[in-house]
Amino acid sequence: MFTNYKSVFTALAFGLTIAACTKEETPVTPGTGGQTGDGTKERFVIAALPIGSTGVADYLLTADTLSKGTVSTKGTGIEQDGTYRYYITHKNRFFSLLYGQGNPGAVTTYTLNAAGKLEKVSDFQAETVQVFTTVQDDIVTVKIPRSGNESASFYRINADQSKVVGEAQVNVVKMAGNGERAHFTWATQVGDKVFAPYMSIKGVSPDVFGTSYPDSAWIAVLSYPGLQVEKVIKDNRTSFIGRYFVDGLAVDEQKDVYAFSSAVASNSGKLTSTKPSAITRIKAGTTEFDKSYFFDVEKASGGYNLSTQLYVGQGNVILTMTSASEKGMYTVGKRLAVVNLYNQTFKWVDGMPAATEINAVAARSNYAPLDGKTGYIGLTLTDGTSYIYQIDASTAKATRGLKVEGGSIQGINKLTYKTAQ
């Protein structure tokens, strides 16, 4: 299942020949050189999968800006071990997580040195996981069995120490309580709790990820750091929240929680949810869905459904959207839209390449500085070129930025550093 999902974003057959890359990072085309008022500089880490090669690993590239310039996988970057990697930044450290496809995973940690170059500070074996998020001082990961074993394993990785400091088990069959299994789509810190949305799945062949319950959404509320399930909240106005390996929650500046449903539940390979693709809300300080709030995105868009979301601040969200004919459990939309959660407005983004010219849109690890308007989305085009597009949510306009030569963009993250005095 995982291999098929990953290939939606990265399996590109352009027949390009990619030159061998060194394991050491070399200088990239400079940008504007971001620097804050206290002398701290910022640098962006772009993970890119070489195009035209199979069974190869991502490369980590760095740039001073996302708005212009060029970086390349040819002869530059730091090669990652293992074919499938996912990325997250916390406590000014960059974490590269290996998905072992049934084998043990790994967590590699990087920081920027005084020269602004990536430097490995830790590398340890860990479980292969399907969820990773930041909570307080930790990275929380979750290993979720799709069949057999009934316990999902939650792990706390201290971001400063880069080691596992806690673990908890959750019985996913007991949690579902309907003869199926709870399969967590993601997890998000909400106050001093962890909210973990899940989909109900059969967990048996030949329809492991199918369900007989397509028209409900569930969120498990867990304590922290104990990671004990305190309650499960449910809403029957939408299908499940998020998707496999996709974050479906956003927390705004008022600490209200917004839940995004793609309405892609299936049974025996057919989409079966009767609910629209929509956004619901959980008010700050509560653990129940707010019945007074319902944003029908499918209706607002004229029949499209959301596939991923990037919260950029002040109630503004960038969505990837699929048409009714494109809609699917693992499909990432190639049309972008901006919604405002407060006034429930919907606008298509102008300035993007036509959907027919886009091969893949990065599904996760896109970047937003949370300024209320700006988001950066990675795109790989059908001609083999990749760019980071800057989206202005206030105008719903897209501007082409940094070019990534020879690679399909897998993630965009930011770190800061101070130069030696």
Average pLDDT along the chain, 421 residues, taken 10 residues at a time: 37 30 35 58 95 78 97 90 88 92 85 96 90 96 94 96 95 98 98 98 96 98 98 98 95 98 96 98 98 99 98 98 94 97 99 96 93 97 95 98 95 93 64
The label of the residue with tokens 């993007």 reads: 352
In this predicted structure, what is the pLDDT of residue 35? 58
In this predicted structure, what is the pLDDT of residue 121? 95
Asked if 143 contacts 128 with a C-beta cutoff of 8 angstroms, the reply is yes
Of the candidates 220, 239, 337, 219, the residue with the CA atom closest to the CA atom of residue 279: 239
Number of other residues whose CB lies within 10 A of the CB of residue 310: 23
Q: Indicate the DSSP class of residue 332.
A: P
**CA–CA separation, 293 and 81 (whole Å):** 45
In this predicted structure, what is the pLDDT of residue 34? 58
Show the tokens assigned to 120: 């490995």
CA distances from 163 to 129, 157, 304, 416 (A): 15, 5, 42, 22
Of the candidates 395, 398, 396, the residue with the CA atom closest to the CA atom of residue 354: 398
Number of other residues whose CB lies within 10 A of the CB of residue 196: 31
**CA–CA separation, 144 and 129 (whole Å):** 7
Asked if 244 contacts 329 with a C-beta cutoff of 8 angstroms, the reply is yes
CA distances from 171 to 175, 202, 353 (A): 6, 15, 45
Domain ranges of the chain: 34-116+358-390+400-420
Number of other residues whose CB lies within 10 A of the CB of residue 268: 9
In this predicted structure, what is the pLDDT of residue 105? 83
Tell me the pTM: 0.90
Cβ burial of 20 (10 Å; 0-12, 13-18, 19+) is exposed
